[in-house]
Amino acid sequence: MERRLMAELLGTFSLLATVVGSGIMAERLAGDNIAIALLGNTIPTGAILVVLITIFGPISGAHFNPAVTLCFALRKEISVRVSGLYVGAQVIGGILGVFAAHVMFDNPLFDPSTTTRTGLGQWAGEFVATFGLVGTILACLKARPDAVPMAVGLYITAAYWFTSSTSFANPAVTIARGFSDTFAGINPANVAAFVVIQLAAAALATGFFKWLLADEPAGSI
């Protein structure tokens, strides 16, 4: 269990260090071009997800995301107790990853975000992003488990651009990004709504894809 929790903590730490660090670097180098800054934030995030899921998947399942942990808890593939421990490790790892990015780029260590991310459009974006992420994982596990790291990395890369919220799709990421007044930040006052929507989307996606991916009875057309 200690190894599993450390994998979840270190994986989420690395994810947030990448999300926030690349956001700071991209914003500094983009010359006020927000599209270029977003692209500079997107590519490292998708890339690190492939790496992290590949290396930590055999240890902990590489959730790095309370919404994903909820999904597997609802499927009874992980106990309630272990789910709680996973979520704790994910949130702590994420916040530490933000602090690490701040240290690397000489930002204040504790720097709550002032970036407002709220409203129907943003919430709809988070619902779509999280629903699609859970669906990607479940469908890929059934069709081709070895492709999960690439599929998740590519999905998040795409979702950065096709969702209005730039696809947080992860309560631990959302909470941690509240601590960073940088390109990737979210005002702490907006965090709770994002988290509720992400968890609701994950629960609905779990039920929907259980139905969609169910094996056909023998002899059915």
Across-strand partners of 111?
Answer: 180
CA distance 62 to 57: 4
Give tens-digit pLDDT for 195-213: 999 999 999 999 999 999 9
Q: Is the pLDDT of residue 220 over 70?
A: no
CA distance 25 to 40: 8
Give tens-digit pLDDT for 155-193: 999 999 999 999 999 999 999 999 999 999 999 999 999
Across-strand partners of 180?
Answer: 111
**200: helix, coil or strand?**
helix
CA distance 175 to 67: 13
CA distance 85 to 121: 32
Q: Is the pLDDT of residue 219 over 70?
A: no
Give tens-digit pLDDT for 6-64: 999 999 999 999 999 999 999 999 999 999 999 999 999 999 999 999 999 999 999 99
Give tens-digit pLDDT for 58-80: 999 999 999 999 999 999 999 99
**How do the domains of the chain map onto residue ranges?**
2-211
Of 1.20.1080.10, 2.40.50.140, 2.40.37.10, 3.90.25.10, the CATH number of 2-211 is 1.20.1080.10
For the chain, strand residue ranges (E) read none
Supply the pLDDT for residue 218: 62
